[in-house]
Amino acid sequence: MTNQASGPALQQKYKEIINEKRFTELAKLVESSKEKPADYIVRMGYKNYMEEPQGKKVKLFYIMKLKEIAGINPEKNIIKEACEISLNMDSPEILEALIKRVGFDKSIFKEIQPAVQKTYTDYVADGKFVDVSKLIELTDVIPSEDIIQKGYEGYLEEAKFISFAGLKKRTNIPPDPDMVQSMYRKYHFNYLKYKNLSTEQSTEWLERLKKLMRISKIEPQGITIEEEEPLPEHDN
């Protein structure tokens, strides 16, 4: 049998392998050696990976792979940066994989709240309600009231009632009653505006009024929602 490197020589070998991202070789060396890679070498590897110009997903893969093999946690600043990268990805599943494979306390998300809230803003704007609830589960950070209320208002402005109901269901955050009353008044104004001008448009606004009452569970104040259909247009 050949003598395996140990001490400084082994650590130098670990350093080279980690820097060159030869993960299969690293895993074999860790398994066969009594001496594991020094903490500072592994943490330097994390730092180098994050500073290199490769793509963001590649960086996350390198971080997760090194942690999986070496068993040494990255420093907090590296974890924060990796979390922020994950939050900017397409879905929370990437963040979930990072949490599972690297392992760290959820309290770290309290320290990067702006990044978490920005992701909520993006998800709400895109109508990604399943992702909103998943992110709440992963981070224990609740989307801000302002983000949710702006989402509700934007959906009602565009008559996206399914989106309104989806966000309400996923967050359990009720819509602001004053905002809903304001929307009732806007819908009702347009209903009256078109009532004697266009059957199609007046019917549309009447239906919006009825749908808003159903999905918001908030009764309109000072407005009577008619049950009958608007009068048909007269042919000249």
Q: Is 99 exposed, middle or buried (0-12, 13-18, 19+ CB in 10 A)?
A: buried
Which residue type, as a one-letter code, is found at position 111? E
The residue extents of the domains of the chain are: 1-104, 108-175, 176-236
Which residue type, as a one-letter code, is found at position 89? M
pLDDT of 231: 47
How far apart CA 50 and CA 83 sit, in angstroms, is 12
Q: What does the pLDDT profile of the chain (236 residues) look like in tens digits?
A: 344 567 889 999 999 999 999 999 999 999 998 889 999 999 999 999 999 888 888 999 999 999 999 999 999 999 999 999 999 988 899 999 999 999 888 999 999 999 999 999 999 999 898 999 999 999 999 999 999 999 999 999 999 999 999 999 988 899 999 999 999 999 999 999 888 787 888 899 999 999 999 999 999 998 887 765 444 444 44
Cβ within 8 Å of residue 58, ≥6 positions away: none
Total length of the chain = 236
pLDDT of 222: 87
pLDDT of 14: 94
pLDDT of 195: 84
pLDDT of 199: 80
Cβ within 8 Å of residue 50, ≥6 positions away: 59, 63, 78, 81, 82
